[in-house]
C-alpha cells in the first residue's frame, strides 16, 4: 500500500522522453572574419610617386624596369661566359632587395591588324587582296598561339632618393650584359595588373 501511495503522489510526466523542446543548445560562436571591401586593401601598392614609382603599404618604395633579353643559343662561348660573370657580379655587388619576375605575355598585334584592315578597305587592286587577307590570318594565328617571355626587375628602397640611386647602380651593372629598358607608368600599372590577373595583356612592347 505504501508503494501505491508514493506512486499516486508522484507528478505525472507529460510528453515523451525524446521531447527536446526545453533543451537549449549552446552554439559555437566563430571568430569574426574581416573581409576586405576592395582589392585596393589587399595589394601591397597604395600609391604612385612623382618619379613614376610605387609607394608600398609598409612605407617602402618599389620601381621596375624591363630587362633586354637575348638569344643565348646564338652566342659563342666567350659571350656566354661574359654574361654569366656579369650576372654573378650583379648578385655580389648589389646587396639590396631585388626580384627578377618572368612573365609569359600573349602577343598584342592590334596595331598591325588595324593597319592591315585599313589596307584591305583602301585596296583597289584585286590581285593584292589575297596577300592582305593571308597576312591578317597570320597575325590572328600568332596572337592566338604565340606568347613572349618578358623579364622584369623589381627593386626596392626606403625612400625615393635611394630608389633613384639604386636604379642608376643597376643600369651600370647591367648595361653590357642585359641593358635595362625604362617602362612608362601605364606599362608598370599593366604589369601589376597582370601579376594579379594572369589572363590580361600587359603593354610592354608598345
Could you read off the pLDDT of 77-88 as tens digits, one per residue? 888 888 889 888
pLDDT confidence of residue 32: 64
Residue range 149-193, pLDDT digits in tens: 889 999 999 999 999 999 999 998 888 888 888 999 988 988 888
Instruction: Tell me the mean pLDDT in the region 16-42.
Output: 59
pLDDT at 44: 83
Share of residues in the chain with pLDDT > 90 (%): 25
Rounded to whole angstroms, the Cα distance separating 88 from 130 reads 52
Q: Mind listing the pLDDT tens digit for each residue in 125-150?
A: 888 899 999 999 998 888 888 877 88
Answer for the pair 136, 117: CB distance below 8 angstroms, yes or no: yes
Distances (CA, A) of 182 to 113, 126, 152: 26, 44, 10
Residue 97: pLDDT above 80? yes
Report domain 39-105+149-196's class. Answer: alpha beta
Predicted local confidence at residue 163, as pLDDT: 93
Tell me the mean pLDDT in the region 109-119. 90
Q: How far is CA 53 from CA 34, 63, 164, in A?
A: 30, 5, 9
- pLDDT for the residue numbered 68: 85
| Dist CA 147 CA 96 (whole Å) | 32
In the chain, where the domains are located: 39-105+149-196, 108-145
C-alpha 105/C-alpha 199 separation (Å) is 9
Taking the C-alpha atoms of residue 86 and residue 73, their distance in angstroms, rounded to an integer, is 18
Amino acid at each position: 500500500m505504501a508503494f501505491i501511495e508514493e506512486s499516486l503522489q508522484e507528478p505525472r510526466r507529460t510528453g515523451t522522453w525524446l521531447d527536446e523542446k526545453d533543451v537549449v543548445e549552446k552554439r559555437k560562436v566563430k571568430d569574426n572574419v574581416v573581409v576586405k571591401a576592395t582589392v585596393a586593401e589587399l595589394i601591397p601598392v597604395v600609391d604612385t610617386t612623382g618619379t613614376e614609382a610605387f609607394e608600398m603599404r609598409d612605407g617602402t618604395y618599389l620601381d621596375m624596369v624591363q630587362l633586354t633579353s637575348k638569344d643565348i643559343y646564338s652566342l659563342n662561348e666567350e659571350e656566354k661566359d661574359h654574361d654569366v660573370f656579369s650576372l654573378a657580379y650583379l648578385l655580389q655587388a648589389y646587396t639590396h632587395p631585388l626580384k627578377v619576375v618572368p612573365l609569359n605575355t600573349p602577343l598584342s598585334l592590334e596595331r598591325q591588324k588595324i593597319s592591315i584592315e585599313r589596307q584591305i578597305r583602301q585596296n583597289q587592286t584585286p590581285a593584292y587582296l589575297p596577300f592582305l587577307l593571308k597576312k591578317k590570318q597570320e597575325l590572328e594565328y600568332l596572337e592566338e598561339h604565340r606568347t613572349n617571355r618578358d623579364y622584369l626587375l623589381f627593386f626596392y628602397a626606403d625612400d625615393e632618393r635611394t630608389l633613384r640611386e639604386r636604379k642608376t647602380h643597376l643600369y651600370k651593372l647591367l648595361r653590357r650584359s642585359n641593358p635595362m629598358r625604362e617602362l612608362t607608368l601605364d606599362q608598370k600599372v599593366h604589369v601589376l595588373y597582370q601579376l594579379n590577373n594572369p589572363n590580361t595583356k600587359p603593354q610592354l612592347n608598345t
